[in-house]
Amino acid sequence: MDAKIQQRVDQLRKEINHHNYRYHALDDPEISDAQFDELMRQLRELEEQHPHLVTPESPTQRVGAPPIQGFAQVKHRQPMLSLANAFNIDELTAWHRRVSNLLGVDAFDMVCELKIDGLAVSLTYEEGRLVQGATRGDGYRGEDVTHNLRTISSIPLALLGVAPGRLEVRGEVFMSKDAFAKLNREREANDEPLYANPRNTAAGSVRQLDPAMTASRNLEIYVYSVGDRDDGGQENGTAADTHWDALEKMRSLGFRISPHNRLCRAIEEVEDYYRRWLEGIHDLPFHADGVVVKINSFQYQEELGFVGREPRWAIAYKFPAEQAVTKLRDIGINVGRTGSLNPFAMLEPVVVGGATVKMATLHNEEDIHRKDIRIGDWVTVERAGEVIPKVVGPVLSRRTEKLPEFKMPSECPICSTEVVKTEDDAQHRCPNATCPAQFFELFKHFVSKGAMNIDGLGEKWCAILIEQGLVKDLADLYYLKREQLLELDRMGEKLVAKIMDNIEASKSRPLSRVLFALGVLHVGSENADLLASRFHGIDEIAQASQEQFTGIQGIGPKIAASIVAHFAVESNRNVIDKLQKAGVKLEREESEEGQSAEPLPLQGQTFCITGALSGMSRSRAQARIKSLGGAAASSVTRKTTYLVVGQNPGSKVATAERLGTEIIDENALLQILDVAAR
């Protein structure tokens, strides 16, 4: 009997996998949804009756894991590298010419693929079964999200055909426009905040700790390359001479390959493909931000190799930022945690880049006047990638009447204190340290992940604690009583325990984190690290002179003056006293000093970065520099060792040239970091 049941279970799984492949990989189903559901019902019923027959790769086990506590790190066998960008046909042609010269040939085949705006992942199979799924992470290490990726129907749990050994493939997980719209409709009906865009929602869904939540998000995937493979001397079905053939072989194993891929013989065909999708981008069921162009021949790919973290044999040909025209209804003012008055555009709602935009950044009064933006104007709004929507400028041809120039308010819109602006500061500021808006933003910053990291205290609870008078300054947080929190509406025992535990844990944060959390004007995480490395505790910092601060490489007169001014305020000193009495660690530990440690390879070298980096974020680059002993400065001085120049650099280049500072590009930085890390 067991043999017959096993045979039926195997047959059902085979049929279900076949129909999954037809539906997800080929977009050509052979049976109706009802018939598919009936096959799944039969399989579930048999597995419930005979639980010993359940296997991890069974189609019923896509949502079979309980919520997890966190994600383990995964080291990629082959790095998941980034791509260089081309923003126009001249840059694309220049790339093609460079590659032609390196290969010594005039023509070669290229594969064009839409650059889907999603989350890159790695899928590893052993003996044809999915054993691990990981995010891209920093390219070298990602997060193990296997349980979540198993819930995505278009990812095969078991490969079709023969696939011995180990096989790793890479792909892009994304959320379709329809799935995103449906999710937001459901959230709106439940009075929940709406998600901003499909890309962030997909990435967040893959990183959910509960796989059932990931499964509910209707995510999809397109696989675009083979990563690492080891067939133990046997053919595993992916060996190929070209990228195009490898894609077709992956399709035959059950992977979903984009139907929009195209094999091109010349650069003119690539440009035709690009323009076809630039015009038809809104017809796609998903968001794409460009075209990836890859040289088809694996032999040519191997000859070309890499430069830094980028393959020479591929490039991303980016679509231009999406723009729309709408009416500027008003200009609002937000008050930040340092008292800055930040203008923002209040717009007639308009769809830009797949998202409805109602507000956009305006930077400061100087920027508004430079662009001649006026309330009542028709304005061009731009949204590029992950950048916050911004107002590009007015459509002057549509200005039919004389509109008044915008002026910043003379009083704080929250506390009515007279606004101040100094010559060396682009921002107007409210000088009232007790301004409710300032304190709300400061409190949110203080408990945030990068500062004291008090999980459980989100924006809503920060506002409630302030409104209820339970927190009047930052130190009050450490004097909260469990009973006080329990009296708050919708604050249950479990959440109270979590918050109290995290408040207690935050007392041991490193000195640099505490300094950053205090919200001293111009003291970000980078400068907080510099201060913590030079002073033993906050008492020393509070008593230091401006000259002592400017003696630290990376701290200029403006930052030094701000630090001195902060600790000269009596209320700020009172907060420090209360924090000390509450048990918050305000001194550097011996382990932070690193006196007994071996000198790090970049010790004594200072790096300053200007412009956007393509392979990593600026904060990630600075973190790598500091982890290897180097200093990451925000300005170029005579003490700066290297100025790293990215895309669209600023005035720091001229300063570096004047001072004779060595100027390097991103690839040179990566080479320095790679050598130092060995």
Per-residue pLDDT at 323 exceeds 90:
no
What's the Cα-to-Cα distance from 32 to each of 35, 179, 219, rounded to whole Å?
5, 21, 21
Q: Domain tally for the chain?
A: 6
Q: Are residues 234 and 340 in the same domain?
A: no
Rounded Cα distance, 544 and 560, in Å? 10
The residues facing 420 across adjacent strands are 429
Rounded Cα distance, 580 and 82, in Å? 46
Say whether 262 sits in a helix, a strand or coil. Answer: strand
Q: Which residue has the higher pLDDT, 106 or 193?
A: 106
Residue 77 lies in a domain: no
Residue 600 lies in a domain: no
Contacts of 467 (CB under 8 A, 6+ apart): none
Per-residue pLDDT at 177 exceeds 80:
yes
The stretch 469-490 carries a mean pLDDT of: 93
Rounded Cα distance, 81 and 674, in Å? 14
Q: Are residues 400 and 258 in the same domain?
A: no
Maximum average pLDDT range among 130-144, 504-518, 543-557: 504-518
The stretch 100-110 carries a mean pLDDT of: 94
- Which range among 271-285, 390-404, 662-676 shows the weakest confidence by mean pLDDT? 662-676
Active site residue 14: no
The stretch 595-605 carries a mean pLDDT of: 64
Alpha-helical (H) ranges within 140-236 are 146-149, 177-189, 198-206, 211-215
CATH number of the domain that 50 lies in? Answer: 1.10.287.610
Model pLDDT for residues 42-54, shown as the tens digit of each residue: 888 888 788 888 8
Residue 79 lies in a domain: no
Percent of the chain with pLDDT over 70: 90
Domain closes at, from 506, 533, 553 = 506
What's the Cα-to-Cα distance from 326 to each of 320, 357, 360, 368, rounded to whole Å?
19, 10, 11, 17
Rounded Cα distance, 38 and 31, in Å? 11
| Confidence class for position 474, pLDDT limits 50, 70, 90 | very high
The helix (H) or strand (E) run that includes residue 437 is helix 436-447
Rounded Cα distance, 370 and 146, in Å? 51
Helix %, strand %, coil % for the chain, to 5? Answer: 40, 20, 40
Residue 76 lies in a domain: no
Residue 110 lies in a domain: yes
The predicted model scores a pTM of: 0.52
Domain closes at, from 287, 318, 349 = 318
Q: Are residues 365 and 411 in the same domain?
A: yes
Q: Which domain, by its residues, includes 355? A: 321-431
Per-residue pLDDT at 623 exceeds 80:
no
Residue 78 lies in a domain: no
Q: Are residues 119 and 46 in the same domain?
A: no
The helix (H) or strand (E) run that includes residue 42 is helix 33-49
Closest CA to 335 of 406, 411, 386, 407: 411
Residues 340/431, Cβ–Cβ less than 8 Å: no
Q: Are residues 450 and 478 in the same domain?
A: yes
Residue 580, both tokens: 């000390």
Q: Which residue has the higher pLDDT, 34 or 269?
A: 269
Q: Are residues 407 and 370 in the same domain?
A: yes
β strands within 319-444, DSSP E = 322-335, 340-352, 355-361, 378-383, 390-394, 428-429
β strands within 213-282, DSSP E = 220-230, 262-264
Q: Which residue has the higher pLDDT, 62 or 285?
A: 285
Rounded Cα distance, 143 and 154, in Å? 20
CATH number of the domain that 158 lies in? Answer: 3.30.470.30
Q: Which residue has the higher pLDDT, 140 or 546?
A: 546
Say whether 579 sits in a helix, a strand or coil. Answer: helix
| Confidence class for position 41, pLDDT limits 50, 70, 90 | confident
Residue 69 lies in a domain: no
Per-residue pLDDT at 517 exceeds 90:
yes
| Confidence class for position 595, pLDDT limits 50, 70, 90 | very low
Strand 85-86 and strand 314-318: pairing?
parallel
The residues facing 113 across adjacent strands are 292
Residue 70 lies in a domain: no
Residues 278/47, Cβ–Cβ less than 8 Å: no
Q: Are residues 186 and 310 in the same domain?
A: yes
Rounded mean pLDDT of the chain? Answer: 85
CATH number of the domain that 570 lies in? Answer: 1.10.150.20
Residues 419/408, Cβ–Cβ less than 8 Å: yes
Q: Are residues 485 and 557 in the same domain?
A: no
Q: Are residues 252 and 267 in the same domain?
A: yes
Domain closes at, from 454, 471, 506 = 506
CA–chain centroid gap for 116, Å, is 15
Q: Phi and psi dihedrals of 182, rounded to 5?
A: -65, -45
What's the Cα-to-Cα distance from 545 to each of 548, 561, 563, 577, rounded to whole Å?
5, 9, 9, 20
Q: Are residues 311 and 340 in the same domain?
A: no
CATH number of the domain that 426 lies in? Answer: 2.40.50.140
Q: Are residues 50 and 102 in the same domain?
A: no
Per-residue pLDDT at 435 exceeds 90:
no
Rounded Cα distance, 173 and 170, in Å? 10
Closest CA to 348 of 372, 369, 383, 324: 324
Model pLDDT for residues 628-652, shown as the tens digit of each residue: 778 888 788 888 889 998 877 777 8
Residue 26, both tokens: 């080929």
Residue 272, both tokens: 């035709």
Q: Are residues 192 and 247 in the same domain?
A: yes
Rounded Cα distance, 474 and 443, in Å? 7
The residues facing 345 across adjacent strands are 331, 360
Candidate list 115, 294, 585, 626, residue with the active-site label = 115
Rounded Cα distance, 573 and 518, in Å? 11
